[in-house]
Amino acid sequence: MSRRQRVQSLRFRADQSGMLLAAANVPLTFQRTLMPRPTTDQAIVTGLSIASNHAFVSLIQETIQSAALVALRKTGQRADNVAWGRASVALDAVAIAAGIGMQRAFKQRDREPLPRAAARTSGYWLTMTGSAGAIIGGLQEAVGTFRRETPNTVPVVVPAAGVLAAALELRRRRAERLDADAPSDSAAVAPIKALGLGIGVAVGASTISLGERVLADRVARIAARLLPVSEEVALPLGHAVALLTLGSATRFLIEHVLGGIERKETSVEAAFDIPPPNPYVSGSVASGVSFDSLSKQGRRFVWTVTSPEKVREVMGEDVAVPPIRVYAGLASAETEEERVALVLDDLERTGAFERSWLLVASPTGTGYVNYAAVTALELLARGDCATVAMQYAARPSVLSLDRVHEGRAQARMLLDALQARLAGIPEAQRPKFVLFGESLGAWTSQDPFVDRGTQGLMDTGIDHAIWIGTPHFSKWKEQVLFDGRSDVDHGVVRVFSNINEWHALDPEERAGIRYLMITHHDDGVALFGPELMIQAPVWLGPPETRPSQVPKSMRWMPSTAFFQVLVDMKNSANVVPGRFAAKGHDYRADLLPFFNAALGFHATEAQLDAIAEWLELEELQRSEWITTHGATGKSLAATVIERALSDLHEQGLDRDDHLALIVQSVAEGEFGAGGGASIPIPEHLPPG
């Protein structure tokens, strides 16, 4: 038998070992995690887990078996399939022992370096692979001897996987009893359908892996013909070329998709297709920032400013001034410096520095600024406030991670410019300087203070900061919460999961807090990180010490937990318009109580109830308006024209004639098409 044939027959055992662990792990993919998962999401988790576990174990088992073959040759023993298989089982036992030793030697420590975690997880995979290989090899030897067949070709994975999967499913169900008192998980998962779809996902992922292997083999074969090397030596080159090819194709696809998303986010939205007449917002006729350059989120932001009339109505008071909203989109100017200059000019024009509150809102990846946060401030401040925001990306946050450095640079530039401007105002007349950021906006607005601690915020003159859903990746957050830095005053910064934790503090302690992060214990955005592949997170500690939002039955396993929390991150951002919640990545219900308490407004309970009711109603109305008026014929401009013509009709004027005259005037004056808009009298008809 040739070496290539031996390797091919050896893969049967490696593949069965991978299939054994992948199948046995399926029950764990159905465990309860941070967020409910619908059937499709469950299929993605199960499929990716099957594919990755199979790939890891098969690759490691192939390596163990190759080492066994080399060892046999060095000892001069005959390397037939039987001897080779038994030597592989012996090395599987060595792998089990070595893996256990590595896990014990690199036992997890608090805030350990990632290389230590990687070494421990490598030991885990060695142990799992050795165990799977030993089980498959042992069963093959036993069945092969009984049937007098070649052991390496005996398919024993199905019964072995069935037994292990059943045992682990029973274990999962026993563990779920720990969450018997937890709120019901509303996920409607169809297990059989999810498993079927998951197998489809696994097949798709495995097909890509197989394609990479085939391409690598062909490249290695060509290289062996052109270069003085064997195919085995050229195989790493083949894998490198194959991965480069797949990477280039993936990059092209991603850029194509992202380009489409960016065009959608910057295009004019029919529901907000004309500039607002309010001079206190950017994009108006009085503003130096063009309305067309604001992007979809920017146009929504300036149009939805709270009116003084609504402030008086909701707050039940007669005092109110027009709130100010200033915004610059990516297309508003070529450079960050020019965009900062634009927003400063608009702040000066609107009199923003004469207001009592100045809020800098760092948007999410699309340029979105949380309406509930800004509107809550406008109502609590009775309109005596200004909000400024600048767009730094035009994609959803999860696709804008490569724009964080731009957001950081722009935020730093804007904050420095505002600090310089505020320094020229007497302290008694200076507005309170507040920094706000959500999700990616929290990260980009914290980044300017990396290696500066809380002192950096104080030096910039920021009186208060409120961040919601800070991503796991924020380096500043890690520094101020866990590093013993001299520039961090732990009395001024704190993390809260809900407003009850704020009220539970001593009044004197609350008074000293200036900068706070609101982070839910079940927010996948705040908890997800690549470290989940190699390290059990702190929040999955002993079940009795976990917050109530983290299931006590949830277990960490490399790859599986990574995919589960990745899906949790997506699902934690699901919100229902007009129904505020304080769960996952939805912080709408937290904003009003924290803005009121942390900024010291002291609104009455009746006013807080009225504000909360209006915030939900406003969001619902806005959502319904965007849905209803998303088409061109029902756009904001079309609706305005229809309302104007209706008013003409009520005044006794012929609205159709008036509209025809307007259309003809515009067409003739703007693009020389007056003839197309004229309504001539047909010659064969008498006048009139």
DSSP assignment of 76-107:
T----HHHHHHHHHHHHHHHHHHHHHHHHHT-
Mean pLDDT of 191-206: 62
Nearest residue to 46 (alpha-carbon basis) of 163, 204, 177, 186: 204
- pLDDT of 385 higher than 50: yes
Cβ(321)–Cβ(305) below 8 Å? no
Q: What is the pLDDT of residue 238?
A: 62
Q: How do residues 515-554 score in pLDDT, each as one tens digit?
A: 999 999 999 989 988 899 999 998 998 998 898 899 999 9
- pLDDT of 300 higher than 70: yes
Residue of higher predicted confidence among 108 and 70: 108
Q: How do residues 233-257 score in pLDDT, each as one tens digit?
A: 455 566 567 656 755 665 555 445 4
Most confident of the ranges 160-174, 578-592, 623-637: 578-592
Q: What is the pLDDT of residue 365?
A: 81
156, containing H or E segment: none
Q: How do residues 60-97 score in pLDDT, each as one tens digit?
A: 887 788 788 777 766 655 556 778 788 888 999 999 99
Q: How do residues 205-240 score in pLDDT, each as one tens digit?
A: 556 556 656 776 777 778 777 777 555 445 556 656
Kindly state the tokens that stand for 232: 């085995």
**What end-to-end distance do the CA atoms of the chain give, in Å?**
101
Residue of higher predicted confidence among 592 and 38: 592
Cα separation, 337 vs 332, whole angstroms: 11
For residue 66, is it left (φ>0), alpha (ψ between -120 and 50) or beta? alpha
3-class DSSP assignment, residue 555: coil
Place of tokens 């396993």: 557
- pLDDT of 6 higher than 50: no
Which residues are registered as beta bridge partners of 358? Answer: 386, 433
pTM: 0.81
Place of tokens 């038998």: 1
Under the banding of pLDDT at 50, 70 and 90, the label for residue 201 is low
Under the banding of pLDDT at 50, 70 and 90, the label for residue 394 is low
